C-alpha cells in the first residue's frame, strides 16, 4: 500500500503516471463522462487547518469518481479532544477507503499513515504541500511550460518551496529558489532534494537574490509571506520581505512568455502585485481548478496500488 505524503516518496515515472491519469480523468470530466473509478468508496477528510480549495476539490473529486467525501473537522472528532493520532488512524481507517489530512505537523501525518489501514494523502502540512505541486505541474503542461522548464520560486522557504524542490529534483528540471535571509528552506529538505537532483539531472539553485532567480525563467511562482498560524508575525515578515513582491518590474526579467503561478489565496500588494495577478489570472485559476483533477489522478493511482 502506498501513501501520498510527500513527493520525495515517488520516482519520476510514478509522478508522471498520476499526471497522465489526471489528464485522462479531466478530459472525461469536461465531456461530462464520469467514470466511477472509486465507486461506493468513502474518503475521510480530516481538517486541522481550514481551506477553500482543498475541501472543495477533494469532496467534489471523490464524488465525481463515484464515491463520497466525509468532512471531519478536528473540532468535531475525538482528535480535537486529545485522542492520540494513532488511535484516530486505527478507528477511521477501518471505516473509510482513503484518508486526506490537512494539518500542521508532518510528523502527525506520518504517524497517522503508519497506523492507517488505507492510503493517506497529504492535503497540506507545514513542511510539504504535494497535491498543490501536482496541480501546478499539470497547469505547466497545459500552458506549454513543462518541456525542460526554468522555474523560479520567490518568497518564503516554506512548504511550497520544499515541494517545488522535490518536484524539480524528481522530474529533472531547473529550479531557482530565492528567499530573504533568515527564511531559507529547511536544510534537511535541501540535502534530500540535492541528492535526488544528482540522480535526475535537475539543476537546483538556492540563494537570496530574487532578480537573479527570475531572470530568463519560464515559470515564476510565489506564496503568501504570512502563512496560517503566523499572523502575529505579519508586521516583521512584511518588512523582511521587502523587494520580494512579484510585480511588473520583477516579471520583466523573466521570459516574455513566462507564466505566473500562485497556490492561493493571494494577498495583492504583498507577495504579488494586482497587475501581475490579473495579467495571469487565467493561468492562476486554471491552476486552482487543476487541484480537482490532479487529486483525482492521485486518488485513482493510490487505489490501484493498494497491494504494492
Query: Which are the catalytic amino acids?
Result: 102, 129, 132, 223, 263, 291
Q: How far apart are CA 130 and CA 136, in angstroms?
A: 10
DSSP state of 176: E
The cell for 173 is: 528540471
Q: At what angle do helices 281-304 and 130-142 cross, to 10 degrees?
A: 120
Distance, CA of 124 to CA of 135 (rounded, Å): 13
What single string gives the DSSP state of each residue in 181-230?
Answer: TT-PPPHHHHHHHHHHHHHHT-EEEEES-HHHHHTT-SEEEE--SS-TT-
CA 251 to chain centre: 23
Closest alpha carbon to 178 in 209, 214, 151? 209
Contact 125, 8 (CB under 8 A): no
Partners of 102 in beta bridges: 47, 124
Amino acid at each position: 500500500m502506498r501513501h501520498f505524503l510527500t513527493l520525495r516518496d515517488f520516482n519520476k515515472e510514478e509522478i508522471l503516471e498520476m499526471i497522465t491519469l489526471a489528464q485522462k480523468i479531466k478530459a472525461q470530466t469536461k465531456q461530462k463522462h464520469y467514470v466511477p473509478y472509486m465507486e461506493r468508496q468513502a474518503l475521510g477528510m480530516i481538517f486541522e487547518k481550514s481551506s477553500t480549495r482543498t475541501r472543495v476539490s477533494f469532496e467534489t473529486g471523490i464524488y465525481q469518481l463515484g464515491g463520497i467525501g466525509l468532512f471531519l473537522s478536528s473540532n468535531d472528532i475525538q482528535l480535537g479532544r486529545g485522542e492520540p493520532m494513532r488511535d484516530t488512524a486505527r478507528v477511521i481507517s477501518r471505516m473509510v477507503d482513503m484518508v486526506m489530512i490537512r494539518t500542521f505537523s508532518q510528523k502527525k501525518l506520518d504517524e497517522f499513515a503508519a497506523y492507517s489501514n488505507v492510503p493517506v494523502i497529504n492535503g497540506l502540512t507545514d513542511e510539504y504541500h504535494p497535491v498543490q505541486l501536482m496541480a501546478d505541474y499539470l497547469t505547466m503542461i497545459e500552458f506549454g511550460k513543462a518541456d525542460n522548464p526554468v522555474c523560479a520560486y520567490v518568497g518564503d522557504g516554506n512548504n511550497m518551496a520544499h515541494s517545488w524542490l522535490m518536484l524539480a529534483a524528481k522530474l529533472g528540471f531547473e529550479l531557482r529558489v530565492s528567499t530573504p535571509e533568515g527564511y531559507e528552506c529547511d536544510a534537511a529538505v535541501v540535502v534530500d532534494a540535492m541528492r535526488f537532483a544528482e540522480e535526475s539531472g535537475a539543476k537546483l539553485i538556492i540563494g537570496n537574490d530574487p532578480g537573479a532567480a527570475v531572470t530568463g525563467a519560464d515559470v515564476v511562482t510565489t506564496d503568501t509571506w504570512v502563512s496560517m498560524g503566523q499572523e502575529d508575525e505579519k508586521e516583521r515578515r512584511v518588512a523582511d520581505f521587502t523587494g520580494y513582491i512579484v510585480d511588473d518590474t520583477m516579471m520583466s526579467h523573466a521570459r516574455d512568455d513566462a507564466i505566473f503561478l500562485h497556490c492561493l489565496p493571494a494577498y495583492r500588494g504583498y507577495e504579488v502585485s494586482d497587475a501581475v495577478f490579473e495579467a495571469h489570472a487565467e493561468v492562476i485559476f486554471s491552476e486552482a481548478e487543476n487541484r480537482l483533477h490532479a487529486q483525482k489522478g492521485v486518488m485513482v493511482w493510490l487505489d490501484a496500488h493498494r497491494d504494492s
